[in-house]
Amino acid sequence: MKVLVAPDKFKGSLTAAEVAHHLALGLSRSGVDSEQLPLADGGDGSVDAAVAAGFAGQTITVAGATGLPRRARMAVRGDTVVVEVANTCGLATLPSGRMHALDASSLGLGHALRQALRLDPRRVVLALGGSASTDGGIGLLTALGFRFIDETGRILAPSGRALLDITSIEVARAVCLSSVGLVVAGDVTNPLTGPEGAPAVYGPQKGADLTAIHLLDRGLHHLVEVLSRNGFPEAADLAASPGAGSAGGIGFAAMLLGARMTSGAEYFLDLLDFDRHRAEADLIVTGEGCLDAQSERGKLPAVVARRAGPVPVVAVAGRNEIPRKYWSRTGFAEIYALSDYTDRDTAGDPALTADLLVDIGHRIGLTRAGRPVRRRR
């Protein structure tokens, strides 16, 4: 029997590559061969997943969420480059983990994109998960040569706080992207503003209180108005489009640059050549940190199950909220949850998570081989 181990990350605990490694280790202890294919859905961990799948990792220097220089990484293969918010200017780059809801920016992602362009790629994939800012993407645009100016003629440093001060925009020095296809691979469908917009829905995760949410929403409305008067008549329509609110409005800025929005899970399965690996497998083991009612609506494990065809799929999660009677509807032959094997919280405990994944991988191998399994608790 050949098993394809193709999980997403367990957020806050292990990367997709680490999850795959420990499940594969458990399978090997039961005498089962496996191939590891760590996956991503366009969120944080996308660069790591691409590198694990054969892309070359390149170290770059960018501005973190608060502007401090930091080392990050992008993934390169052929004419495709993957860059991400999380390892450039995302929540993980905040000094001491302290939130900066109004002052964080997307400048670092713009720096990564500029460095990707030096490789003359045909396609750049923007992975937007884990963002720390709600700046409407003006940080990204600033790095590409846009200049946002206030009423005194001063060039503004990008941030959510600066949005209301913008009175004009200069693009004469903007980088030309006509030869590059930008792809935003993600599953966020929120518009830029309003009750379902970036500040209202995602602002609290970035430390924004009600006052900050209101300020950011007004600022993003204002940004759209100024853009509309400064050569971007399509700004209002783009702001209302699904996905414009992703990553605090970076999705909106990417749309202004001509980016194509696509399903993150589906796109990364294609990018990482999932179908070729699937064709050689007798069983697929996938998973992520939590399986719940939202899982069948485009989350990666459910997309894996849908793409698996006749190959049975077993899911592994830190926590499972899908009732057994719905497992087959979601496409899973079996679901293993770490929470069924411990009373401790595994979410912030990488060592415990790793240990349980090895045990579950061993159990999956024994079960598939028809050998008895002793329950652990």
Q: Which amino acid is at 247?
A: A
Same structural domain, 166 and 235: yes
* Bridge pairing between strands 80-84 and 123-127: parallel
| Residue partners of 369: CB distance under 8 A and separation at least 6 | 1, 30, 31, 32
How far out from the chain centre does Cα 42 lie?
Answer: 4
| Residue 371, phi then psi, degrees to nearest 5 | -100, 150
Q: Which amino acid is at 216?
A: L
Q: How confident is the model at residue 372 (pLDDT cuts 50, 70, 90)?
A: low
Number of domains composing the chain: 2
Same structural domain, 240 and 128: yes
Same structural domain, 184 and 302: no
Q: Give the helix/strand (H/E) hosting 81.
A: strand 80-84
Q: How confident is the model at residue 187 (pLDDT cuts 50, 70, 90)?
A: confident
Is 374 a domain residue? no
How far out from the chain centre does Cα 340 lie?
Answer: 27
User: Which range marks the domain in which residue 80 is found?
Assistant: 46-264
- Smallest CA-to-CA distance from 91 within 223, 6, 243, 204 is with 204
| Residue 197, phi then psi, degrees to nearest 5 | -80, 180
- 100-114 tens-digit pLDDT: 999 999 999 999 999
Q: SS3 of 354, please? A: helix
Same structural domain, 189 and 333: no
CATH at residue 290: 3.40.50.10350
CATH at residue 224: 3.90.1510.10
| Final residue before a domain boundary, out of 222, 240, 264 | 264
| Final residue before a domain boundary, out of 264, 285, 301 | 264
Does the pLDDT of residue 210 top 70, yes or no?
yes
Same structural domain, 81 and 174: yes
Is 376 a domain residue? no
Is 88 a domain residue? yes
Alpha-carbon span 139 to 135, nearest angstrom: 7
- What integer pLDDT is reported at residue 307 of this predicted model? 95
- 114-152 tens-digit pLDDT: 999 999 999 999 999 999 999 999 999 999 999 999 999
Does the pLDDT of residue 373 top 80, yes or no?
no
pTM of the model: 0.90
- 65 contacts 93 by C-beta, under 8 angstroms: yes
Same structural domain, 172 and 319: no
- 42-75 tens-digit pLDDT: 888 899 999 988 999 999 999 999 999 999 999 9
Q: Which amino acid is at 334?
A: E
Same structural domain, 57 and 94: yes
Does the pLDDT of residue 12 top 90, yes or no?
no
